[in-house]
Amino acid sequence: MPTFRIFNPPDIHRPMGYSHVAEITSGKLVYISGQVAIDPAGNSVGAGDFRAQVTQVFANLKAALRAVGGDFGNVVKFNCYCADSVDPAEIATFREIRDAHVNTANPPASTFVVVRRLVRPEWLIEVEAVCVI
């Protein structure tokens, strides 16, 4: 039995790459802090390389999900923060990497925000997740 339902109400436009609603029906709710481009040894990854940073962010999310007994199929919501120094064309890179991890037929709810900068100026992207186990 599913512990959540992801869907798009018929009275809201059909989104591309995310869903409007994630309804939790049962299970354990888990919040994963914003993940940035830092490898397991604590080293920054991909200075100035958006693709490398997004790849590391999703590797970190995968490790956090695994630590709570889940995977990307348990994610109901992403919150994404991108530095305004990133070329808007790179959003396609983000979507490509994200889509390699999520169910693109029924993707999680998502918010993508462009911010002036992240805590460390070398970070280009930060992604947090909410999942249900």
User: 25-49 pLDDT, tens per residue?
Assistant: 999 999 999 999 999 999 999 999 9
C-alpha distance from residue 10 to each of 102, 103, 124, 132 (Å): 22, 20, 35, 24
Which of the four pLDDT bands, split at 50, 70 and 90, describes residue 2?
low
Q: Which domain holds residue 75?
A: 4-132
- At 5 the three-state DSSP class reads strand
Helix (H) or strand (E) run with residue 34 in it: strand 29-35
* Phi (first) and psi of residue 44, to 5 degrees: -65, 145
Is the pLDDT at 1 greater than 80, yes or no? no
Could you give the number of structural domains in the chain?
1
- At 22 the three-state DSSP class reads strand
- CATH code of the domain containing 93: 3.30.1330.40
What's the pTM?
0.91
- Please report how the helices 91-99 and 50-67 are oriented relative to each other, as an axis angle in degrees rounded to 10: 30
Q: Which of 120, 50, 126 is nearest to 82 (CA)?
A: 126
